[in-house]
Amino acid sequence: MNSSHMSQTVWGWKIAAYLFGAGMGAGAFAFSGYLTLVPKFTESGVALRGMWLGVVVTALSAGFLVWDLGKPMRFMRVLMNVAHSWLSRGAVILMVFCLAALITIATGEPKALVWISMALAVAVATYTGVLLGTMLSRPLWNNSLLPMIFLTSALSTGIALLDVGGLATSATNSSMVSAFQATIANLRWAHALLLGIEIVMLYFFVNLSRSRSKAAADMLTRGDLRYGFWVGILGAGIVGPLILLAVSSATGSSASDTLLLIGDLGVLFGGFMLRRVILYVGTRGVVELGVRFTIRPEV
């Protein structure tokens, strides 16, 4: 059987972009919020810029959801269906996070509000996996590891977004260079750790999925989506950036910045591909407990 006939096509690249942007922005905000709690970064301005970048990217990602739904009124209907849809709950969580983040920034980043906003950012990054996991008729989505994979990816792409934004800032503002370099050094170990954890979780995710839906798992690793998985997600998005991160640590400053930028762009590409491929591979399977999958249960 041609695996392309088994794929999920209702939620396409726009929903993937929504999930990717929301997770990436939330991850960037979470790490920037952490930096506001570290004394040596409180006066640099790097953390504040990162918080702004994170909340703006998260807010803009909702535009892809509105675009996919086709009409703004459908988005309002999504917001009114919180009791029955994780897509609705996620949209509300995203809006609450953006509001809390803006209040946190406007009030000078008090520690209590920073912690609350960071918790909401983690919720935004995690719910995307919960959203897919609630669909029992899609066995590859209905996987307990998926929320943690999306959270790890959100934090990793969030750091990559901060790196890219910081590199752009330091290229046009020499006074930010030293503060930016200190920030990157502080986050480098965390980024490498997240990428390593993501590899391990993807390994267990695929093996668990194979026991529940062999056709879907095979489509992911050896079928139509094998290049997206091995080259896009693992190669460009995880292994390649890990190698560049290691090499950049042993090179000069100018070469290091270039390698970091290439690695960061790879992480961002891999983060989008992760959402796109996982959405596409959501094949129908045996439905437990008599629950049927309906197209767009959130509307």
- Predicted pLDDT at 170: 59
Structure tokens at 180: 């930016």
Which alpha helices (DSSP H) does 70-176 contain, by range? 72-79, 86-106, 111-133, 146-172
Helix (H) or strand (E) holding 242: helix 240-248
Instruction: Render pLDDT for 283-295 as a digit per residue (tens, 0 to 9).
Output: 655 444 344 434 4
Identity (one letter) of the amino acid at 118? M
- Predicted pLDDT at 88: 73
Instruction: Render pLDDT for 9-22 as a digit per residue (tens, 0 to 9).
Output: 567 788 899 999 99
Round the average pLDDT of the chain to a whole number and report it.
Answer: 80
Q: What residues of the chain score a pLDDT lower than 70? A: 1-10, 39-44, 71-87, 135-137, 167-186, 252-254, 283-299
Could you give the 3-state DSSP secondary structure of residue 291?
A: coil
- Predicted pLDDT at 100: 96
Q: Which CATH architecture has domain 3-290?
A: Up-down Bundle (1.20)
Count of alpha carbons within 13 angstroms of residue 194, beta-carbon side = 25
Instruction: Render pLDDT for 162-192 as a digit per residue (tens, 0 to 9).
Output: 888 776 665 555 555 556 666 666 678 889 9
